[in-house]
Chains A and B, each alone.
Chain A
């Protein structure tokens, strides 16, 4: 018998993650793809990989999308559930660590702090105006130091001295870092300083006086960085859990939400099927001139047939699509 799976897709600024879970919420496939500014292509590529890996043994029962590109990718694949990242991340973590109270999530361009109590989200924060507390900050500094980002965490652990680097702003951090280099600190020391700066920034910016309680779970692409994990543990004085699928938790959450939705409603999936990759899928925008609002309308075409429109305030275009 074919196994039934649920697909979760998390389209972020830096990576596009695709997972498939079975009915017992076990991950049977997972893939982490660099988005590289082409979210749709990444999704198509990921789905293709999924099909090649397990397409002949499994049948797709539901699809969920999340991440900043959730809307468009949801239409592309025919998602049953389109959810924000906060809910998706919390759902995924809760399924493995049911008593989790604090989730740190650091991705490429955003970071999130999610607080839970009795298995529901009671508060959350996201970085808003600045990327100083995110993966791109580290990426940038790693490049500056000429160290591959993958080695960054290991090096931080080799540090012997404490170096304090200003973490509030990337620009300050950079000049601070150069100054410390000129003082003669080793690369490892400086990297450790950077990790601590990022964590301080995260706690100050997102924590903002909120009470953080254990168990703590750390996820997102940056959780691969052991230096950051160590810095977190030092800052909050408590061990931190990193789950096996830490870098695709958003996608797992989307898959679980899709599973729950399908189970609850008994509906059949809207998934367009694996062969959708061959179709020509093109989004475009135009400005409606119907009134003074001049809304920017996003229009999505599949093989020259308009399948979705949104962005209008009056509903003139949104409602013109019969689904």
Chain B
């Protein structure tokens, strides 16, 4: 099969698993203005931003010759669950028919479909080879996420701006080109750690550090090309960043049956249940859970990202002021849409970081005074 997939974070793991299983893989271009333009043109106006960008990405993949699109579905009352169906119809009308393979979480029903999809994906490979490949990529995802998190911290203090982002590109290249079997992983992981070690940093005192957690809908949180490269912007302002969504978390929560492994995500969901009790779709429960979690872990502030008009995140957005007050942690929300004028958002990001910094300084000052 000639397969393609949408971007969401690093494309390397997706590419790797399909390659290992003997498919021809087309990596679509990263979401650009062109992608968005195409997606917006052929999408229903009211559809959310991820729908539009994904449609644009699929069209670009098809232009490059993709015959099968592999993507994930949604669950719960979020529109994303229907999106692949609608996208398929739109593409049909445009004479760009492709086959879709949509992975829904087996943890939320639908074992049969999941199983059926796995068999199609397996193709001609043996089950032994299939399991070996899955195992390889599973570990790769976890390692990549660990490395990225180190960079998200280091980026705040890099001496030459852009070094961390460049290193991240290199690391992804290494994993893409040099890892073919599980035993390669360790060597490349070590090589990457050395690369990260080499980055020049000037780390300030503990009191001067600022940590911000990014929460919200998975696509806009994970795909930097649609979220204004928020992590890099915050890094440039000297802020350590952690995201609420990493591919490894998603895989553990959605793709690994519960009887094999209890995921980190479940603990997070528990923490948010005080605010949103039932599953209202999307990542609203995760959003509030992560805010509580970040507060407990001593983060200084939260940035909440949501696609414009995303229903689950609108619900979480309206609860956020209360959470922010109860937990005494600053939270700011950003709606992400096709707008490219960033002045307003940049101002808000900068002011938010100023706010956090001043608040922290005041706190430390008060402590000092009290100590005298």
Bound together, the chains give a CA A220 to CA B334 distance in angstroms of: 24
Knowing A84-B351, A86-B351, the reply to whether A68 touches B362 (Cβ < 8 A) is: no
Are the CB atoms of B160 and A313 closer together than 8 Å?
no
Bound together, the chains give a CA A319 to CA B334 distance in angstroms of: 30
Kindly count the residue-residue contacts between A and B in the assembled complex, taking CB atoms under 8 Å apart.
Answer: 80
Please provide the chain B residues from 145 to 173 with a CB less than 8 Å away from any CB of chain A in the complex.
Answer: 160-163, 165-166
Are the CB atoms of B162 and A84 closer together than 8 Å?
no
Whole-angstrom distance from the CB of A69 to the nearest CB of chain B? 8
Bound together, the chains give a CA A68 to CA B232 distance in angstroms of: 20
Are the CB atoms of B362 and A315 closer together than 8 Å?
no
Are the CB atoms of A87 and B335 closer together than 8 Å?
no
A307 at the interface (CB under 8 A from B): no
Are the CB atoms of A110 and B344 closer together than 8 Å?
yes
B262 at the interface (CB under 8 A from A): no
Are the CB atoms of A120 and B347 closer together than 8 Å?
no
The closest CB in chain A to the CB of B343 belongs to: A68
The closest CB in chain A to the CB of B232 belongs to: A313
Knowing A294-B32, A313-B165, A318-B162, the reply to whether A68 touches B344 (Cβ < 8 A) is: yes
Taking CB atoms, residues of chain A closer than 8 Å to B160 are: 315, 319
Whole-angstrom distance from the CB of A125 to the nearest CB of chain B? 9
A281 at the interface (CB under 8 A from B): no
Taking CB atoms, residues of chain B closer than 8 Å to A314 are: 162, 165-166
Are the CB atoms of B162 and A121 closer together than 8 Å?
no
Bound together, the chains give a CA A252 to CA B322 distance in angstroms of: 34
A208 at the interface (CB under 8 A from B): yes
B2 at the interface (CB under 8 A from A): no
B92 at the interface (CB under 8 A from A): no
Knowing A128-B344, A292-B30, the reply to whether A209 touches B355 (Cβ < 8 A) is: no
Taking CB atoms, residues of chain A closer than 8 Å to B308 are: 129
A264 at the interface (CB under 8 A from B): no
Whole-angstrom distance from the CB of A190 to the nearest CB of chain B? 30
Knowing A122-B355, A123-B330, A314-B165, the reply to whether A86 touches B335 (Cβ < 8 A) is: no
A126 at the interface (CB under 8 A from B): yes
Report A49-93 CB contacts with B as 1/0, cut-off 8 Å.
000000000000000000010000000000000011111000000
Taking CB atoms, residues of chain B closer than 8 Å to A118 are: 362
The closest CB in chain A to the CB of B328 belongs to: A122
Taking CB atoms, residues of chain B closer than 8 Å to A316 are: 162
Report B315-355 CB contacts with A as 1/0, cut-off 8 Å.
00010011010000010001101010001101110111011
Whole-angstrom distance from the CB of A56 to the nearest CB of chain B? 36
Q: Could you say which of B330, B334, B347 contacts A122, with CB atoms under 8 Å apart?
A: B330
Are the CB atoms of A121 and B344 closer together than 8 Å?
no
A140 at the interface (CB under 8 A from B): no
> Is the interface on chain B under 10, 10 to 19, 20 to 34, or 35 or more residues?
20 to 34
Bound together, the chains give a CA A209 to CA B343 distance in angstroms of: 26
The closest CB in chain A to the CB of B342 belongs to: A68
Whole-angstrom distance from the CB of B13 to the nearest CB of chain A? 18
Report B15-37 CB contacts with A as 1/0, cut-off 8 Å.
00000000000000110100000
Taking CB atoms, residues of chain B closer than 8 Å to A121 are: 351, 354-355, 358
A124 at the interface (CB under 8 A from B): yes
Bound together, the chains give a CA A123 to CA B348 distance in angstroms of: 11
B274 at the interface (CB under 8 A from A): no
Knowing A84-B350, A126-B344, A313-B229, the reply to whether A120 touches B165 (Cβ < 8 A) is: no
Taking CB atoms, residues of chain A closer than 8 Å to B339 are: 129
Taking CB atoms, residues of chain A closer than 8 Å to B334 are: 128
Are the CB atoms of B359 and A122 closer together than 8 Å?
yes
A270 at the interface (CB under 8 A from B): no
Are the CB atoms of A129 and B335 closer together than 8 Å?
yes
Are the CB atoms of A315 and B321 closer together than 8 Å?
no
Bound together, the chains give a CA A313 to CA B164 distance in angstroms of: 11
Report A282-323 CB contacts with B as 1/0, cut-off 8 Å.
000000000011100000000000000000111110110000
The closest CB in chain A to the CB of B340 belongs to: A296
Whole-angstrom distance from the CB of B350 to the nearest CB of chain A? 4
A210 at the interface (CB under 8 A from B): yes
Most buried by A among B160, B229, B344: B344
The closest CB in chain A to the CB of B30 belongs to: A292
Are the CB atoms of A128 and B30 closer together than 8 Å?
no
Taking CB atoms, residues of chain A closer than 8 Å to B232 are: 313
Whole-angstrom distance from the CB of A37 to the nearest CB of chain B? 14
Taking CB atoms, residues of chain B closer than 8 Å to A312 are: 162
Bound together, the chains give a CA A65 to CA B189 distance in angstroms of: 45
Bound together, the chains give a CA A86 to CA B353 distance in angstroms of: 11
Bound together, the chains give a CA A124 to CA B355 distance in angstroms of: 9
Taking CB atoms, residues of chain A closer than 8 Å to B343 are: 68
Bound together, the chains give a CA A124 to CA B352 distance in angstroms of: 8
Bound together, the chains give a CA A208 to CA B160 distance in angstroms of: 40
Taking CB atoms, residues of chain B closer than 8 Å to A208 are: 318, 321
Report A157-186 CB contacts with B as 1/0, cut-off 8 Å.
000000000000000000000000000000
Q: A118-B362, A120-B355 are in contact. List 10 more A-B contacts (CB 8 A).
A: A83-B354, A86-B347, A122-B330, A123-B355, A129-B339, A210-B321, A292-B30, A314-B165, A315-B163, A319-B161
Residues of chain A at the chain B interface (Cβ within 8 Å): 68, 83-87, 110, 118, 120-124, 126, 128-129, 208-210, 292-294, 312-316, 318-319
28 sample A-B contacts, Cβ–Cβ < 8 Å, listed by A number = A68-B344, A84-B347, A84-B354, A86-B348, A86-B351, A86-B354, A86-B355, A87-B350, A87-B354, A120-B355, A120-B362, A121-B354, A121-B355, A122-B355, A124-B351, A124-B352, A208-B318, A292-B29, A293-B30, A294-B32, A314-B162, A314-B165, A315-B162, A315-B166, A316-B162, A318-B162, A319-B160, A319-B162
Residues of chain B at the chain A interface (Cβ within 8 Å): 29-30, 32, 160-163, 165-166, 229, 232, 308, 318, 321-322, 324, 330, 334-335, 337, 339, 343-344, 346-348, 350-352, 354-355, 358-359, 362
